């Protein structure tokens, strides 16, 4: 389970660092935070190719949910721009 | 004038005179009864004695035989009766016992399920609740964007943990170690008891009846015979024409580990390296990475940060260590040829293994 621990630790550290950096940059939009988190999570998940099939299946499901949220935000922004 | 005297007929019982009965015409015996000859009397005696003794003996025999017969009958009847009684009583008793035990077992199973729920799932659930509360409080009450973002990051982490928690095997590492130790100890005892000094030959699944297996030659023979056909699913197999060409066909940790691979790698170094890293890092979690160098019929494998301790038991010299066993099995399957472990060295967390790919002739 060493691979799981390292994966979770890397994701948690990245998300925390992103929050600190974005707060330091004075970012006030929740959409930006969410999109950054999703992109980071997807990249790290893709880098961990040695997960077993069951874990990959579970993480694919999580990635799909996160990507769905990302699409919703993008769609709302596009609608906002168009209107 | 003796025949004029009236007599009672021995046949019909009427009074009669003359030489025969006037009622039934039965001849009437008159005069003094003829004395029985002595010889006849002597012969008659045992008959009479037997006639006298017979009822007595019969009585005695019956007295003796009766309890015996009764006992036998009881002996015969008792198991049958018991069986019948048990047949009648058993379902009832079982039903009662099940009725009593079921709620208890359910309760125990629920308690066990609660305790066996792994840490990833618990952490995921905790983060899910905490993240939801932080996000709702920050977004709707406190109106703090950064805190709401932190809540979202907690929710993302909780989803990941819950997804990973479902993939954790139900068996604890202790139980797995128990099974592994049992299997290894049995093979070790077999190898040590037979005093085998020859190196084991890792065979691909094409040369066995099932998955990849290990052939342990009982006698060291530098001129080994070629394998012409797949070995049968037996423990003791003959692999050559010579009377000494007998070996043990066993399954080891490595041969079982090959089954965990998603696909069988090719003979190229990169493919073998990828398969080994997937196995050691992703599935077994015993090492960080591997490096494979192939030259002709030799394969050199480096395993980095291995967590399996190095033991130098007798059977390790024959079969190789657990890591070497896995590497040899995967290599045999990748090359589709028999493989033997030439060398195995451990330096701290680094493990170097040198394999030799044998030809069709082993």
Count of positions (residues) in chain B: 362
B282 vs A27, A37, A52: nearest CB: A52
Cβ contact, residue pair A55, B285, below 8 Å:
no
The answer to whether B299 and B343 have CB atoms below 8 angstroms apart is no
Q: Is residue B294 assigned to a domain?
A: yes
Q: Do B150 and B244 sit in the same domain of this protein? A: no
Task: Quickly state the pLDDT bin for B348 (edges 50, 70, 90).
Answer: confident
Q: Do B261 and B321 sit in the same domain of this protein? A: yes
For residues B331 and B329, what is the distance between their CA atoms, to the nearest angstrom? 5
> Per-residue pLDDT for B255 more than 60?
yes
> Per-residue pLDDT for B3 more than 80?
no
Q: Do B157 and B210 sit in the same domain of this protein? A: no
Sequence-distant (6+) residues with CB within 8 A of A41 are A11, A15, A62, A63, A66, B156, B160
Q: Do B358 and B210 sit in the same domain of this protein? A: yes
Q: Is residue B345 assigned to a domain?
A: yes
> Per-residue pLDDT for B112 more than 60?
no
For residues B260 and B234, what is the distance between their CA atoms, to the nearest angstrom? 23
Q: Is residue B259 assigned to a domain?
A: yes
Q: Is residue B85 assigned to a domain?
A: no
pLDDT digits (tens, 9 = 90+) for B60-78: 777 777 777 777 777 777 6
B281 inside 8 A of chain A by CB: yes
DSSP, residue by residue, B95-124: HHHHHHHHHHHHHHHHHHHHHHS-HHHHHH
Q: Do B123 and B233 sit in the same domain of this protein? A: no
Per-domain boundaries in chain A: 2-82
Integer CA distances (angstroms), B302 to A37, A62, B292, in order: 36, 35, 7
**pLDDT value at position A63?**
93
The mean predicted confidence, pLDDT, of chain B is 79
For residues B210 and B200, what is the distance between their CA atoms, to the nearest angstrom? 18
The answer to whether A59 and A67 have CB atoms below 8 angstroms apart is no
Q: Do B240 and B359 sit in the same domain of this protein? A: yes
Taking CA–CA distances from B284, the nearest residue in chain A reads: A1
Structural domain of residue B332, as residue ranges? 175-362
**pLDDT value at position B182?**
86
Instruction: Please say which residue of B165, B200, B234 terminates a domain.
Output: B165
The crossing angle, in degrees rounded to 10, of helices B145-165 and B119-136 is: 160
The answer to whether B233 and B210 have CB atoms below 8 angstroms apart is yes
A62 vs B120, B153, B159: nearest CB: B159
> Per-residue pLDDT for B2 more than 60?
no
The answer to whether B23 and B9 have CB atoms below 8 angstroms apart is yes
For residues A78 and B266, what is the distance between their CA atoms, to the nearest angstrom? 48
Cβ contact, residue pair B153, A19, below 8 Å:
yes
B239 inside 8 A of chain A by CB: no
Question: Span B257-272, mean pLDDT?
Answer: 86
Number of structural domains (chain B) is: 2
Which chain B residues have a beta carbon less than 8 Å from that of A61?
A: 163
> Per-residue pLDDT for A66 more than 80?
yes
The answer to whether B201 and B339 have CB atoms below 8 angstroms apart is yes
Question: Span B94-111, mean pLDDT?
Answer: 61
Q: Which residue has the tokens 């390790």?
A: B316
Instruction: Please say which residue of B165, B197, B229 terminates a domain.
Output: B165
Cβ contact, residue pair A51, B277, below 8 Å:
no
Strand B201-203, strand B213-217: pairing? antiparallel
Task: Quickly state the pLDDT bin for B36 (edges 50, 70, 90).
Answer: low
Exposure string for A62-82, b = 16+ CB within 10 A, e = fewer: bbeebeeebeebeeeeeeeee
> Per-residue pLDDT for B101 more than 50?
yes
Structure-token pair, residue A13:
């550290």
Task: Quickly state the pLDDT bin for B46 (edges 50, 70, 90).
Answer: low
Q: Do B160 and B197 sit in the same domain of this protein? A: no
Question: Span B137-152, mean pLDDT?
Answer: 91
Question: Span B203-213, mean pLDDT?
Answer: 85
Q: Do B324 and B207 sit in the same domain of this protein? A: yes
For residues B349 and A20, what is the distance between their CA atoms, to the nearest angstrom? 36
Q: Is residue B322 assigned to a domain?
A: yes
Picking from B168, B162, B124, the residue whose alpha carbon sits closest to that of residue B283 is: B168
Task: Quickly state the pLDDT bin for B34 (edges 50, 70, 90).
Answer: very low
Task: Quickly state the pLDDT bin for B4 (edges 50, 70, 90).
Answer: low
As a whole-number percent, the residues of chain B with pLDDT over 90 amount to: 14
Q: Give me the CATH number covering residue B354.
A: 3.30.1380
Cβ contact, residue pair A30, B149, below 8 Å:
yes
Picking from A74, A13, A23, the residue whose alpha carbon sits closest to that of residue A44 is: A13
**pLDDT value at position A17?**
95
The answer to whether A70 and A63 have CB atoms below 8 angstroms apart is no
Taking CA–CA distances from B165, the nearest residue in chain A reads: A55
**pLDDT value at position B181?**
81
For residues B152 and B133, what is the distance between their CA atoms, to the nearest angstrom? 10
Give the distance from residue A8's alpha carbon to the nearest chain B alpha carbon, in angstroms: 8
Task: Quickly state the pLDDT bin for A40 (edges 50, 70, 90).
Answer: very high
Q: Is residue B233 assigned to a domain?
A: yes
Strand B236-238, strand B350-357: pairing? unpaired
- State residue B25 phi and psi, 5-degree precision: 65, 30
> Per-residue pLDDT for B82 more than 70?
no
Cβ contact, residue pair A62, B149, below 8 Å:
no
* pTM of this structure: 0.60
B163 inside 8 A of chain A by CB: yes
Instruction: Please say which residue of B165, B199, B230 terminates a domain.
Output: B165
Cβ neighbours, 10 Å, residue B138: 20
Task: Quickly state the pLDDT bin for A68 (edges 50, 70, 90).
Answer: very high
A10 inside 8 A of chain B by CB: no
């Amino acid at each position: 389970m060493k691979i799981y621990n390292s994966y979770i630790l890397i994701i948690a550290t990245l998300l925390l660092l992103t929050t600190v950096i974005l707060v330091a940059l004075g970012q006030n939009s929740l959409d930006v935070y969410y999109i950054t988190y999703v992109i980071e999570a997807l990249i790290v998940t893709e880098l961990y190719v040695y997960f077993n099939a069951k874990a990959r299946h579970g993480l694919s499901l999580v990635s799909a949910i996160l990507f769905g949220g990302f699409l919703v935000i993008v769609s709302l922004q596009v609608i906002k721009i168009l209107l | 004038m003796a025949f004029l005297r009236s007599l009672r007929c021995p046949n019909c019982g009427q009074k009669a005179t003359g030489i025969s009965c006037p009622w039934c015409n039965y001849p009437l015996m008159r005069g003094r009864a003829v004395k029985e000859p002595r010889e006849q009397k002597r012969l008659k005696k045992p008959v009479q004695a037997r006639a006298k003794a017979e009822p007595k003996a019969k009585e005695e025999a019956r007295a003796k035989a009766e309890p015996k017969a009764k006992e036998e009958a009881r002996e015969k009847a008792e198991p049958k009766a018991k069986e019948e009684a048990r047949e009648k009583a058993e379902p009832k008793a079982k039903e009662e016992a099940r009725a009593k035990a079921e709620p208890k077992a359910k309760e125990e199973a629920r308690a066990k399920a609660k305790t066996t729920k792994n840490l990833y799932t618990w952490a995921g659930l905790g983060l899910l609740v905490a993240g939801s509360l932080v996000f709702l409080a920050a977004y709707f009450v406190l109106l703090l964007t950064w805190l709401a973002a932190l809540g979202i990051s907690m929710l993302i982490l909780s989803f990941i943990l819950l997804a990973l928690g479902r993939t954790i095997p139900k068996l604890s590492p202790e139980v797995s170690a128990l099974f592994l130790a049992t299997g290894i100890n049995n093979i070790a005892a077999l190898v040590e008891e037979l005093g085998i000094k020859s190196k084991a030959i890792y065979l691909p699944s094409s040369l066995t009846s099932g998955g990849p297996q290990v052939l342990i030659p009982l006698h060291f023979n530098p001129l080994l015979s070629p394998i012409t056909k797949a070995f049968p699913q037996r423990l003791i197999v003959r692999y050559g024409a010579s009377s000494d060409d007998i070996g043990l066909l066993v399954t080891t940790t490595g041969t079982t580990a090959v089954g965990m691979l998603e696909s069988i790698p090719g003979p190229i170094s990169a493919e073998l390296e990828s398969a080994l890293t997937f196995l050691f890092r992703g599935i077994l979690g015993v090492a960080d990475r591997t490096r494979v160098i192939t030259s002709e019929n030799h394969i050199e494998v480096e395993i980095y940060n291995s967590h399996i301790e190095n033991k130098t038991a007798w059977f390790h010299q024959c079969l190789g260590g657990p890591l070497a066993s896995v590497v040899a099995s995967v290599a045999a399957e990748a090359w589709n040829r028999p493989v033997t472990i030439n060398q195995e060295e451990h330096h701290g967390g680094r493990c170097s293994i040198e394999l030799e790919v044998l030809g069709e002739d082993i």
